[in-house]
Amino acid sequence: MPANYVPIFIFIAIIAVALPVTLLAAKLIRPDNPQKTKAMPYECGVDPIGDARARYTVRFYIIAILFVVFDVETIFLFPWAVQYKALGLFGLAEMLVFLAILIVGYVWVWKKGALEWI
Amino acid sequence: MAMPLHQFFTSTDYLLSLPMIMLALFGMGVLIIDLLLPPEWKRANAWTALVGLVFSAIAVYKVQIADRIAEAHGQAGSFVGFGGSLVADRFAIYFYYLFLAGAAIAILMSVKYLEIEREQHGEFYALVLFSVIGMMCMASGYDIVLLFVGLELMALSTYVLVGFLRRDQRSNEAALKYLLLGAFSSGIFAYGLSLFYGLAGSTNLGQIALTLEQHFLANPKDPVAILALLTTATGLLFKIAAVPFHQWAPDAYEGAPTSITGYMSVAVKAAGWALLLRIFLYMLYPLRPIYLPMIIFVSLATLTAGNLAALTQSNLKRLLAYSSIAHVGYMLLGLVAGNTNNASSTGIKGIMVYLLVYTFMNLGAFAVITSLRRRDIIGDEIDDIAGLMFKAPTEAILMLVFLLSLAGIPPLAGFWGKYFIFLSLIESGHYALATVAVLYAVLGLYYYMRIANAMFMRRAETAEPVSLSPGLRLALAITALGTVIIGIFPEVFLRAAAWSLSVPQASAVAGLLK
Amino acid sequence: MLHLALFLIFGVIAVVGAINLIAQTHPINSALSLVVVMGSLAAEYLLLGAEFLGAIQVIVYAGAIMVLFVFTIMLLNAGAEEQTRGSKVAIIIGIPGMVIGSVAVAWALIRAHTGAEVPVGSLYGSAQGIGHLLFRDFLLPFEITSVLILIAIMGAVVLARRES
């Protein structure tokens, strides 16, 4: 029931007020004299080289999209897990079919070498 | 409390989903076998996929037999599975065979082509099989959730297939355009369906139709129903590439691998039509007075834009893309035929015949274009087909047969599709529409003959010979035989189309004029 | 009353976030606006009683999909977009078109002659409810979904595969 979530909304409301207030207070109170060295990004004490916005390789993208896909797969496990007793053996069989199809995909991705970093 | 197994998955459910189970098993089999095959054996994937299609066809036949037995026992129309969400009626079975035939011919066309493109991968064939599962859901779904999931399954596999030639810039661009517009149209379609769910409180097509019928007696001009109708229809017209939602088609058709272009123009389009007919005839028939003017407008716009744009194309795949848009215009006229409240059964039969003959003649034309792809020659411009008569006379003559059939010249198959559409228009008194459609058919002859002119009257631009692989030869033989045999002996095929629409219970095909 | 007020507030946040998404010229800013839209949509789902969907919305859309968006922006190294003459035309045609469209949709929905009202939270919104529906009534679409996910996996690898 939505009523159960009222504390969450109260929480969100408090954060929505508290966050700007603290940031504003900090800005008003703190001393403010920026220098070039101070404003530099900290990289373990070494001077940074180049721009932080470097171009990423496409491998990150493949890993990320595979993560999303398997994430979506996991989502389907939730409603099954909470209903496990009521669904019984039949539900288990259903879920095994579902997972079997995806495991084929997993094996395929693995053997294709899409998960390898070279 | 534990529910017994048989309650939600009965033996009927198993039988009805068997064609899909076969395709899924073979699709996954192709994926796994592909990992084990050495590179020079990759074409074995095509044979695995073809065997899968055959097994699926056998399963469809089993469903058909079971359907017949159920009818003989007087339980007609009750062949329903998965709690009413899947209906394997004659309509669905007709489309099942159509999809399987389209997929099989497309696979035959692909084998050599993918080798030339150096993209011979097992995924290709697996994706074709999976897309057929989606199409089957679109043809037999009786629940908007299943219909939508099926639509997305088919669309997603098609996006990947369109972009399969990764080295080809056009293929990538086509896939991206198709994906963006396809996702957009799916979103609009889903919005419309959600509104219908909100109106009816059910996801079952029959239930929604009943509620809409009562709803419309009380409120004949409910704005929400009209909004839902507009959005749903927009999504559907996008999928079959009707004007003004057709812009994606020429680009996607031009960029896709040629065999996939053929596949998209027949099987994917037929699936779109199956979905459209399911929704318009089974769910939205109470709204026919409202959607009729819209469909008339769309069909005229589609005929005009498709035929006029095809006149000036110099790329063969683009030309056939516009011609396929024009063919959608004729088919939409079949939906227009009938009176204000009921669709004409001749018109719907015309659509079914049209989709059948279009599968053969258009795939045949694309098979010839596929053979023009050789090493270092892309071969999809009209200039590339010039002088084909002197290089490969058989292919040139077959191409002429396909083109004449596409133009609707008797006694070839294409004639019967147009004949029933025109007949239904005249029967229901739409003389003006029939005249316009005939005039456009004459215009269509011009651009098909441009290709023929290039083949027979012009000299070849390159000396590179045109050769046929065994797969392509088989595909050409099947499509040519289909085009000629349906043209000369149409009775059995016409009976099949009429059979697909004749449901023993009158109420099952709702809103159809007998 | 509080319920309705919260619903409206999150609705306004979602719309403002969506407008900001389009108005921003740098893609990273647009992506962050999208987080706001997705988050407020999750709150809307929660308020409508679709608890499970709200949670999924946060996990998948505001979490995973957003990471993917940011990765893609980094991958393309996309900078601020440039204004062209085309975008001016789009503004001139698009804004009135959008206003007319949304007014028409709103008008249609307000004028609706729907039957019985459904009280909030009376439909299947919890994980149990979804499980009940998904694994019984929608068994076939559920299994088809696994093939759909398989295709998504294949699509990602096929379209982004490297030369070998």
Each residue's pLDDT tens digit, B189-227: 999 999 999 888 889 998 898 888 888 887 777 888 889
Banded model confidence at residue B83, pLDDT cuts 50, 70, 90: confident
What's the pLDDT score for residue B475?
94
Indicate whether A59 pLDDT > 80. no
Banded model confidence at residue B508, pLDDT cuts 50, 70, 90: very low
Residue A85 inside a domain? The answer is: yes
> Which value, to the nearest 10 degrees, does the dihedral of the CA atoms of residues B133, B136, B140, B142 take?
50
Contact A85, B2 (CB under 8 A): yes
Could A58 and C75 be called an inter-chain contact, meaning their C-beta atoms sit closer than 8 Å?
A: yes
Instruction: Say if residue B4 is exposed, middle or buried (CB neighbours under 10 Å; 0-12, 13-18, 19+).
Output: exposed
* Domains of chain B by residue range: 295-514
- Average of per-residue pLDDT values in chain A: 85
CATH (domain of C3): 1.20.120.1200
Banded model confidence at residue B75, pLDDT cuts 50, 70, 90: low
% of residues, chain B, pLDDT over 90: 62
Q: How many domains does chain A have?
A: 1
C146-161: per-residue pLDDT in tens? Answer: 999 999 999 988 888 7
What's the pLDDT score for residue B51?
96
Residue with more model confidence, B75 or B116: B116
Task: Please state, as a whole number, how many other Cβ atoms lie within 10 Å of the Cβ of residue A72.
Answer: 18
What's the pLDDT score for residue C19?
92
Residue C39 inside a domain? The answer is: yes
Could B2 and A101 be called an inter-chain contact, meaning their C-beta atoms sit closer than 8 Å?
A: no
Indicate whether B3 pLDDT > 90. no
> Which residues of chain B does C50 touch, with a Cβ-Cβ cutoff of 8 Å?
none
Banded model confidence at residue B180, pLDDT cuts 50, 70, 90: very high
What's the pLDDT score for residue B77?
55
Domain hosting residue C53, numbered range: 1-80
Residue A95 inside a domain? The answer is: yes
Residue C41 inside a domain? The answer is: yes
Closest residue in A to C58 (Cα–Cα): A75
Indicate whether B507 pLDDT > 50. no
What's the pLDDT score for residue B2?
45
Residue A94 inside a domain? The answer is: yes
Contact B364, B480 (CB under 8 A): yes
Residue C60 inside a domain? The answer is: yes
H helical segments located in B76-168: 90-116, 122-140, 144-162
What's the pLDDT score for residue C75?
79
Indicate whether B502 pLDDT > 80. no
Min Cα separation C86/chain B (Å):
18
Average pLDDT rounded to a whole number, residues B40-46: 90
The model's pTM: 0.92
Residue A9 inside a domain? The answer is: no
Average pLDDT rounded to a whole number, residues B308-334: 93
Output DSSP code: residue B166: T
Min Cα separation A104/chain B (Å):
7
- The dihedral through the CA atoms of B188, B191, B195, B197 has a sign that is positive
Average pLDDT rounded to a whole number, residues B239-261: 92
Indicate whether A118 pLDDT > 50. yes
Range from A60-64, C56-60, C145-149 carrying the lowest mean pLDDT: A60-64
- Chosen for mutation from C128, C151, C154, C157 (greatest number of chain B CBs closer than 10 Å) is C151
Indicate whether C28 pLDDT > 80. yes
What's the pLDDT score for residue C162?
60
Indicate whether B78 pLDDT > 80. no
Average pLDDT rounded to a whole number, residues B393-416: 92
Residue with more model confidence, B178 or B66: B178
Q: How many domains does chain C have?
A: 1
Residue C20 inside a domain? The answer is: yes
**Residue C47's Cα: distance from chain center in Å?**
16
- Chosen for mutation from C1, C146, C163 (greatest number of chain A CBs closer than 10 Å) is C146
Indicate whether A58 pLDDT > 90. no
CATH (domain of A67): 1.20.58.1610
User: What does the DSSP assignment read for B269-331?
Assistant: HHHHHHHHHIIIIIISGGGHHHHHHHHHHHHHHHHHHHHHHHHT--BHHHHHHHHHHHHHHHH
Average pLDDT rounded to a whole number, residues B108-121: 89
Contact C74, A53 (CB under 8 A): yes
Is C108 in the A-facing interface, judged by CB distances under 8 Å?
A: no
What's the pLDDT score for residue B184?
93
The values of phi and psi at residue B295, to 5°, are -65, -35
Interchain CB contacts (distance < 8 Å): A and B: 29
Banded model confidence at residue B383, pLDDT cuts 50, 70, 90: confident
Residue C106 inside a domain? The answer is: no
**Partner residue facing C155 (CB), from B9, B150, B160:** B160
Residue C146 inside a domain? The answer is: no
What's the pLDDT score for residue C73?
84
Domain hosting residue A106, numbered range: 58-112
A11-52: per-residue pLDDT in tens? Answer: 888 998 999 999 999 999 988 888 887 877 777 877 777 776
Q: How far is CA B433 from CA B329, B341, C159, in A?
A: 11, 18, 45
- Average of per-residue pLDDT values in chain C: 85
Residue C163 inside a domain? The answer is: no
Is C12 in the B-facing interface, judged by CB distances under 8 Å?
A: no
Range from A114-118, B501-505, C40-44, C58-62 carrying the lowest mean pLDDT: B501-505
